[in-house]
Structures are given as structure tokens and as C-alpha cells.
Amino acid sequence: MSTTTRDPVLFELFKNAVHSIADEMALTVVRTTYSGVLKDNMDFSTAFCAADGRLVAQGLTLPGHLGSIPSALQAVLERYGDSIREGDIYCLNDPYEGGMHLPDLFVFQPIFHEGVHVAFAAVICHHVDTGGRVPGSNAADSTEIYQEGLRIPASRLYDRGEPNETLFRIIEKNVRAPTLYFGDLRAQLSACHIAEQQFLDLIARHGRDTVLELMDQLVDYAERMARNAIAKLPDGKVSFEDWIDDDGVDHGKPIRLFVTVEKRGDRINVDWTGTAKQARAAINNTFSFTKAASYAAIRCILDGDIPTNEGYFRCIDVKAEQGTVAWGELPAACAARGLTGFRMIDCLFGALAQLVPDKVFAASDGGNTGISVGGYDAKRKPFIFVDFTCGTWGGRPWADGLDGNSNIYANMASQPVEVIEAENPLEILAYEFISDRCGAGKYRGGAPYRRDYRFTEVEGVLQIRADRQTHRPYGLYGGYPGEPSANIWDPEGEARPMPPKFTEIVKQGEVFRHEVAGAGGWGDPLEREPAAVARDVKNELISREAALADYGVVLGDTFIPNEEATRLERERLRSARGWTQTPNVLWEKPL
């Protein structure tokens, strides 16, 4: 038995230290990056990996990248495994060679100690532009990968410490905002450098052999923890179906998501067989992103202290068919694949709610909505604004859904209004919650919000990637579905409704509004505490009319519920609908 195996204190210290390295990498990106999509939205992830590609620790960043970093690193190892040298740095963004979509650039730095390759530092960042037909490179209505921008296969960005000038020049000539691109890339390189320094400090303190053994133990520990947590869940096989409104090209044609989850003993199988064939437009997933969504959803129902690494992945088998939305084949476009990943989380929650109803919350807003505006000013200087907005959680079995908090799959922040206006040709005219849009329930869904954007440059291209206009966020166990999202052109004038996904020329002074979908409720609304309903009315999240119609709560002028009138109204509503107990997992609000 090794020394480290007998020393649980050393193991615990190492576990926290290596996770701190991944977190410090994330802080480095935030502190040094250029673009709002990184420093404010925080659309990036950091990780620390073993030399053979196993994920050892992931920073507190995007769950959506959970299963993606190992796939990308494997592509690097397959291409360069026998020739990785000290001073090398690798990158890629090609969805058909380890990547996810073109804006997401993976950077990997091998770490050496006395000539021995011991680990990798990894950073993935969403870059504001990587070329293609639309500024921002993430249009939902592209129909093949070749329209979306510059594809970078697994490549040496630095060769023994020397930059690959050819690759740098190719990138510079193909992106609209090279200053932003290379500024963000330098943030990735800085984060990798921090990881190298801190990991070598660990080796200096404990010795290389001990540290490498502890890395192996940390992965095995995560597997044991995950298997133990999974074993406590009830065995069973459940399925669930959900629908994406459309792909942005075939308007009005819904796209099916279907998942079957089978839990046996200490393993879970997630099977996406039955999901629609790959779409014409850009919402197709890579298989790595489908795996990431599957890992993230299941992670939500397990104990919170399980390390996020390769050991956790060993307990979950994910299956999908090639040529489907869950696993697109060349030349499928995939820039807007984020939308499908978010919707997969909701679909999986619908299945998991049947296994563990006390752990799963109702559908969230369907997020996140991608909003891009790009063009050129009078001096032909490019501008590109990329924003990802989401903010409602479904009602939980123990509490309301969160208001104004990022979707659980994103862990992203909202860009501040002042920063948006200072750095882009935009004015934000409204940023506010919307009344009567959250799904009613014993625990209501999160309240959605809207943003109004006024364009101040002469002309630009506006691109929207949204969903949940026709297929509303479902409620659970008697909870009502949330109200749909909306895109509105000239909201205070013509108020022209727009489809969930579109690309449009925008002129100076024109205003666009996006309204996030309300989240679904959990449990019978007639069981909600009247005081909680009164509080929501006072805070203008629901109206008095909705309090009466959905919750049966009769309020006085001072927002104090009339207890007797409320009791009688709830008895009347229960009698009118014909049942007193929640009949199904999912329940649609009567028309």
C-alpha cells in the first residue's frame, strides 16, 4: 500500500489544490480577457487533465462543457500523441475533429516536469467572431458548416515555444475583430501558464510520483462517489419527449427530442435514439455536446460533493445515432447547437422526474437566447456584440424556481447595461421582469424578463437564436407550463412579432425586444401558500387576476389574503376541474 493511500489528509489537500488550479484558471480568464461574452457572460470553461487526456478537475464554469474537453483533447492526442514537446500549445475548434461549434476555441498546454509530460492545462472560450456569413459566427439559419466560419483542426499554436505564424495570420485574415480574438486568446494562454506554475509547485512540494498517483486516486475516488450515489437511486427505465419549435429555416416545423434513461445498480444509460434527423439549419449537436448535456442533467440529481472528472463519466453511458440532431454529420451546421443542448437538459429532467420526483424541477426557460449584432461603422471599423440571455428556473419540489438566474446548464452572467452601451452601438431601453409569465404551481416557475435594444449605428445585422414560442416550458406534478418567449420588432410602435430564430438587417433607431419564456411550475397551484401568492402580487410578478384565477387567492387592498374567501374559492376551483390530487407528472393548464 502506497504512502498516499494511507494518508487521507494529504489526499484531501491535493483534491482541493487541484480544483483550485482549475478555478484560478477561470479567474485569470475573467481578469485578462477582452470581450463581453467572456468577461461578463463568462462563456468559457477551464480544466486540468492528466497526460493521457483524462479530465481530473474542471473549474466552476459552464456545465455545458462537462463532456466536451476530453473529446477535444483526444483529438489532439490522436494527431500529436507521439510528438508532444515541451513548449507546445495546441488548439482546435472544428466540430468534426473534437470541437463543438466554431466560436468555441479549445487551447491545450502540455505541462512537463524535468522532461516528462505530466499533465495538460485546458481552456475553452467562446470567441465573439470566427468569420462566416454573419457577424458573431453563430447564425441559426446557416445550412452547412462551410458558411459558419474558419474551421481549425487540431493544430500546434506554439511549436516548442515559437508561435505558429502561419496559423496566426490565417486567423487574423478570417475573423472580423482580430484584436478581440487575440486578446481573448491571450487570456486563454495566461490561464494555462497559471496552471503550469501551480501544478509544478505541487510537484515541488510532494514529488512527481506522489502527485501523479494522487491524480489517479482523485479520478477513482470520483467514480466510487458517483457509483455510490447512483446506487441509491431507484432502478427503472423511463422515457420523455420534448420539441424544439423549429430550426430557423423550416419555420413552424417542430424538431423532436426523445430520451430513454435506464438506471440499473450503479450505472445509468442515456439513449437519445428517437431524436429527429439532423436539421437543415445550425442547431445540430456534436456528440460531445450531447454527452455534456447528459452528464450535466444527471449530475443535478446526485450528491453535491462528487468531483467533476473522468471518474464520474465512467458511470454514465450515452448513446445517440449519427445523422440526428443529437449527433450531426458533415456538412451539418452547428453554430446554434447551444439551444439544443439546453433543451436536452429539460428533456432529461422530464425523464428523471419519473424516477426521482423529489430531486427534479420543472422546465426552465429553454435558454439560452443568443443575440448578436454586427456590422461596420462609418470608418469601416467592425463592431460585434454577442449576448446570451436566460434567467428562469423551473419550480422545484421544495422551492420556487429562481428569478433572473442563469439556466443551470449555462452558469453564465448577464452583461451589464452600462458596459453594453459603452462598448457597442446599442442602447438598452428596458431590462425588467414581466408579470404573469411564470408557470403557476405550489412552487411557481421563475419569472422571466425582457430587454429592449435600440440600434444606434447606420446599419447592422441582427441575429436571434431563441425557442419556446410554441412549445412552452412544461410544469410537473400539477404545475402549469410557463408562458412562451417572444421576439418583437418595434415594441412600442408596430409591435411586429418575429419568429424564434431569424437574421435581419437592422437600421439606426430601430428597436428589438426579446422576452424570455417563463419557467414551469411544480405542484398544484391551489396548494401554494396564500402569503407567497400575496408577496408575488406585491412584487408585481403576478397580477391580482392571476392570483385569483390560477391560485384561488382572494386578496384585500393591503395584499393580505382573505382566508375564508380563499378557502371557498379553492374548493370551487377544485370542484370545477374535477380532481383533487395531481393526476400526472406533466399537466397542461386548461385553455
User: What is the pLDDT at residue 304?
Assistant: 77
pLDDT digits (tens, 9 = 90+) for 339-363: 999 999 999 999 999 999 999 999 9
pLDDT digits (tens, 9 = 90+) for 16-27: 999 999 999 999
User: What is the pLDDT at residue 2?
Assistant: 52
Please state the rounded mean pLDDT for residues 437-455: 96
**For residue 447, how many C-alpha atoms fall within 13 Å in the half-sphere facing its CB?**
14
- Whether the pLDDT of residue 3 is over 80: the answer is no
Spatial strand order of the sheet with 459-465 comes to 382-389, 369-376, 459-465, 501-507
Comparing 182 with 390, which gets the higher pLDDT? 182
User: What is the pLDDT at residue 499?
Assistant: 95
pLDDT digits (tens, 9 = 90+) for 261-302: 999 999 999 999 999 999 999 999 999 999 999 999 999 999
pLDDT band at 527 (very low <50, low <70, confident <90, very high): very high
pLDDT band at 256 (very low <50, low <70, confident <90, very high): very high
Burial class (CB in 10 A: 0-12, 13-18, 19+), 249: middle
Q: How far apart are CA 47 and CA 170, in angstroms?
A: 27
- Whether the pLDDT of residue 1 is over 60: the answer is no
User: What is the pLDDT at residue 389?
Assistant: 85
- Whether the pLDDT of residue 590 is over 50: the answer is no
User: What is the pLDDT at residue 391?
Assistant: 83
**For residue 404, how many C-alpha atoms fall within 13 Å in the half-sphere facing its CB?**
10
Helix (H, G, I), strand (E, B) or coil at 511: strand
Q: How far apart are CA 579 and CA 577, in angstroms?
A: 6
User: What is the pLDDT at residue 585?
Assistant: 57
User: What is the pLDDT at residue 478?
Assistant: 94
Helix (H, G, I), strand (E, B) or coil at 468: coil
Domain spans of the chain, in order of start:
8-225, 361-530+584-591
User: What is the pLDDT at residue 344?
Assistant: 95
User: What is the pLDDT at residue 557?
Assistant: 83
